Amino acid sequence: MDNKRYEQSVQMLTDKDWINRERAAVELGQIGDQRAVIPLINALKDNNEWVRANAAEALGLLKNKKAESALGLLLKDQDEWVCASAAEALGRIGGIKAVEYLMSALGHESEWVRRNTRDTLNSIANEIKDVQVLVSFLQVPYEELRASAAEALGRMNDVCVLGPLLDYYSALKDRGYALRQIKPVVRRLAPLQKENLKNFSHLFCPSCCRRPRKGRVKLGLFRSLKYACCPDCGTSVLEKGIEEVVGVIGSENGVYRNGPVFYVPLFDSRTREARYADVDRIEVWSNAGINYEEAVNLVVLELNDRSGRPSGWIKSLPVTVMAGAGLSVGASNMLKQFFGQIIVHDKSK
């Protein structure tokens, strides 16, 4: 039933009468079928502003992140109403990119669009869980939004909110005021950080693939809070109980956890790019679609190119070559040259 309604509406979206196209856009938003995302994105280029505005609104209802950039571009539409609809739709989607576009629209030439964008951002500040996005809100030239963001940050469990919050409240009045404001946040975070420091050697940031570092934020003359956080993204909300991090050459998977072991693919055979990770050892997996010589070469470059690590630290990393990984003599020699102990799993066993 809904499928028929969907098919009809998609067809109607390219009708020669704009009233039909507009109605079709509204319908597709109501039906809620995600297949409509691409046809609706195309309809954002319609020469009728009613169609463009309603297509934007429908995309907001579908909440599909694929529409973010198309809606972002629509914020530059010559019609105010279309821009305002795009802002509203981006607010409903609420992803990082959507928020970035909305921030840029805070300086829009139309007062109406500016106001609409502010209201939209304000209403989503409470739902945003991304610390970086909220921290960026603290910079906008709009007090109410800064306040909502500060409030939302105060509810986060992440120690990296403390610095930005201290700066924000200090700028409002003074440092003493700032410290009083964030006191409840510190009180809530302190036990978590105690826990983090106790389990420090088994923590891991899965998005940056880094082991944490220790830090300390000063809270007045005699007080400070010690914490553990990711050296790259700064988060203190970390994966716990990770005893070993294994870097994999030849994996087609993403990063994943298996009990106390975390696996990180170090080479992507599609993009042919290597990545850095704080690994404890390396595994080479069998993979027909990979040039091992190239992979090993790029991985070595990436692992060595990290400040804070003594040069040649990878010399101590053991490497396990799994059965079936057909390494060339060149790739084998490279492994022996750069890494520590090499263990080869024989196929016959």
Closer by beta carbon to Zn ion, 23 or else 211: 211
160 binds Zn ion (CB under 5 A): no
Number of alpha carbons in the 13 Å side-chain half-sphere of residue 293: 5
Q: How far is the CB of 232 from Zn ion (least distance, A)?
A: 5
CB of 49: closest distance to Zn ion in angstroms?
Answer: 44
- Rounded to 10°, the helix 18-31/2-12 angle is 150
233 binds Zn ion (CB under 5 A): yes
Stretch that binds Zn ion, among 49-57, 59-67, 233-241, 286-294 (CB under 5 A): 233-241
3-state DSSP percent of the chain in helix, strand and coil, to 5: 55, 15, 35
Given the rule CB under 5 A, which of 31-39, 70-78, 183-191, 227-235 is the region that contacts Zn ion?
A: 227-235
CA distance 218 to 221: 8
Q: Please answer whether residues 283 and 247 qualify as being in contact, where contact means their C-beta atoms are separated by less than 8 angstroms.
A: yes
Residue list 234-263, contact with Zn ion (CB under 5 A) = none
d(CA 6, CA 298): 48
DSSP 314: G
For the chain, the distance separating the N- and C-terminal CA atoms, rounded to the nearest angstrom, is: 58
Residue 203 in contact with Zn ion, rule: CB under 5 A: no
Min CB(255)–Zn ion separation in Å: 12
Which of 232, 239, 273, 305 forms a contact with Zn ion (CB under 5 A)?
A: 232
Please give the Cα distance from 128 to 237 (Å, whole number): 16
Quick one: 197 or 344, whose CB is closer to Zn ion?
A: 197
Question: Please, which residues bridge with residue 247 across strands?
Answer: 264, 282
Scanning 80-88, 197-205, 217-225, 316-324 for contacts with Zn ion by CB under 5 A, the matching segment is 197-205
User: In the chain, what's the furthest Cα-to-Cα distance?
Assistant: 74
Torsion over CA: 321, 326, 329, 330 (sign): negative
> Quick check: 230 binds Zn ion (CB under 5 A)?
yes
Task: Note whether 205 binds Zn ion by CB under 5 A.
Answer: yes
208 binds Zn ion (CB under 5 A): yes
Least distance between Zn ion and beta carbon 205 (Å): 3
Q: Which residues pair with 226 in a beta bridge?
A: 216
User: Is 71 or 230 the residue whose CB approaches Zn ion more closely?
Assistant: 230
CB of residue 59 vs Zn ion: minimum separation in angstroms?
32
Q: Please report how close the Cβ of residue 262 comes to Zn ion at its closest, in angstroms.
A: 13
Q: Which residues contribute to the site for Zn ion (CB under 5 A)?
A: 205, 208, 230, 232-233
